[in-house]
Amino acid sequence: MPTLLRNRVLMALSLSHFTCDLYSGSIPMLLLFASRSLGFGLTEAGLVGTVYGIFSSLTQPLFGYLGDLKGGRWFVVGGVAVMTVFQMLMGLAPSYWLLILCAAFAGMGSAAFHPQGASGASRSGGDKKTSAMSIFMFGGNFGYGTGPALAGVIGDVLGRAALPIMSLVGLILVPVLFKLTGGSGSPSRIVPGKTLLKVNPAFTKLGVAALLITMMARAWLQAAATFFTPVFFTTLRGFTAAQAGTLSTINLWSLALGTLVGGLLADRIGPRRVMLFSFLCSAPLMFLYWNVVGVPLYLVAVTMGFLVGWAWPPLIVLSQELFPKSAGLASGIALGFAFAMGYVGQGINSFLAAPERLGLIGSMMIVPVLGLVGALAMQALPKREAIAASAAARLTLAQ
């Protein structure tokens, strides 16, 4: 761990991840202030969020593939730059349709950064890939949790026109990131002529399906807590918006710490044990989250976020093993699929939350089951020994 913290490339990528997700996390608050000044409602705000979600998730595999071919450094630095500029323009957009256009480009900036950022973080960790990934993910999750609070303070105190102040972080970081990612361990180009899409033979068809289901369960769990906390607790528990926002931030910051600890533990005791414990604990904790009140609620929010976060770094590293010659593509598929499944989960829960269906409480009672689904699906994932044996066999053949 101390050695990893001295790795300048990893620290630069983690700070960049913080910046990108700081902007992503600020978008709901940015839309709140924009709706007041431009005069649009929740439906229109939801469309902007959907546009951002589509472009930031579904284009990640493409950017991951292109980054592996052309050089990941440019996609890492360029992604942060594009995200910074268009997040700034979202705060200044004079019309609703320009706001949507800026959201699309901001989403593509995020999509360009994440696959190669994750690939570079894994590569920089050497034989401690999961620990390095946990540091990278901690940066992003901490930024995502900080975004709403920072944007809320700036918007409340100085007004919507001051929200582009947040872009100063990215504008300062971009030249630093370009300098630091030029050395060993940084995102780099794949050797020409190699087949990028060859699947690791350790993954059977069942193993690939298990990986997708496990990632879906993990993404949906987090998305449900993040998306529905404000509406659930203001509507059914009498919270103010500020109280619900505080609860959400507590959960997200705990999630960030959980990703850090989970990655470190995975390198010590094995990723399967870490993921299994995370999924099994998330089921009862998610149930309690929607049903307890008072001080116990905050304790559950902290514990749930912390333990749900454990599973994320091992899953990303495992997904990179799926396409061993294209870590950027694999990261893009994993992160893009996870983001997309989070949005799909939100849509399903929103549909079921209608009073004539299950209602908001009933819809939330489905979410804890996802922990058990993830725990069951991961039993079909290839073991670390099988993946290592496959990698050794490839190396022998190459020689």
Domain ranges of the chain: 1-189, 190-399
385 versus 76: the higher-pLDDT residue is 76
pLDDT reported for residue 183: 54
CB 244 within 8 A of CB 28: no
Average pLDDT value over all residues in the chain: 85
The arithmetic mean of pLDDT across residues 71-80, rounded, is 87
| Rounded Cα distance, 138 and 309, in Å | 9
Q: How confident is the model at residue 351 (pLDDT cuts 50, 70, 90)?
A: confident
Judged against a pLDDT cut of 90, whether residue 344 lies above it is answered with no
CB 9 within 8 A of CB 185: yes
56: tokens are 């930031």
pLDDT reported for residue 193: 43
Judged against a pLDDT cut of 60, whether residue 78 lies above it is answered with yes
Which one of 29-43, 122-136, 255-269 scores highest in mean pLDDT? 255-269
Task: Spell out the residues 6+ positions from residue 321 whose beta carbon is closer than 8 angstroms to its own.
Answer: 200, 202, 203, 330, 387, 391
Judged against a pLDDT cut of 60, whether residue 166 lies above it is answered with yes
Q: How confident is the model at residue 309 (pLDDT cuts 50, 70, 90)?
A: very high
Judged against a pLDDT cut of 50, whether residue 398 lies above it is answered with no
Q: Which of 307, 271, 221, 268 is nearest to 383 (CA)?
A: 271
Provide, rounded to the nearest whole percent, the portion of the chain with pLDDT above 90: 37
pLDDT reported for residue 2: 59
Q: How confident is the model at residue 390 (pLDDT cuts 50, 70, 90)?
A: low
Lowest mean pLDDT among 5-14, 59-68, 308-317: 5-14
pLDDT reported for residue 138: 92
pTM above 0.75, yes or no: yes
| Rounded Cα distance, 326 and 322, in Å | 9
Lowest mean pLDDT among 12-16, 69-73, 292-296: 69-73
For the chain, give the secondary structure using H, E and C.
CHHHHCCHHHHHHHHHHHHHHHHHHHHHHHHHHHHHHHCCCHHHHHHHHHHHHHHHHCCHHHHHHHHHHHCHHHHHHHHHHHHHHHHHHHHHCCCHHHHHHHHHHHHHHHHHHHHHHHHHHHHHCCCCHHHHHHHHHHHHHHHHHHHHHHHHHHHHHHCHHHHHHHHHHHHHHHHHHHHHCCCCCCCCCCCCCCCCCCCCCCCCHHHHHHHHHHHHHHHHHHHHHHHHHHHHHHHCCCCCHHHHHHHHHHHHHHHHHHHHHHHHHHHHHCHHHHHHHHHHHHHHHHHHHCCCCCHHHHHHHHHHHHHHHCCHHHHHHHHHCCCCCCHHHHHHHHHHHHHHHHHHHHHHHHHHCCCCCCHHHHHHCCCCHHHHHHHHHHHHCCCHHHHHHHHHHHHHHHC
| Rounded Cα distance, 285 and 356, in Å | 27
What's the CATH number for 190-399? 1.20.1250.20
Judged against a pLDDT cut of 80, whether residue 120 lies above it is answered with yes
Lowest mean pLDDT among 66-80, 82-96, 193-207, 317-331: 193-207
Judged against a pLDDT cut of 90, whether residue 39 lies above it is answered with no
Fold of 1-189: Growth Hormone; Chain: A; (1.20.1250)
Q: How confident is the model at residue 378 (pLDDT cuts 50, 70, 90)?
A: very high
Q: How confident is the model at residue 5 (pLDDT cuts 50, 70, 90)?
A: low
Lowest mean pLDDT among 135-149, 151-165, 214-228: 151-165
Judged against a pLDDT cut of 90, whether residue 188 lies above it is answered with no
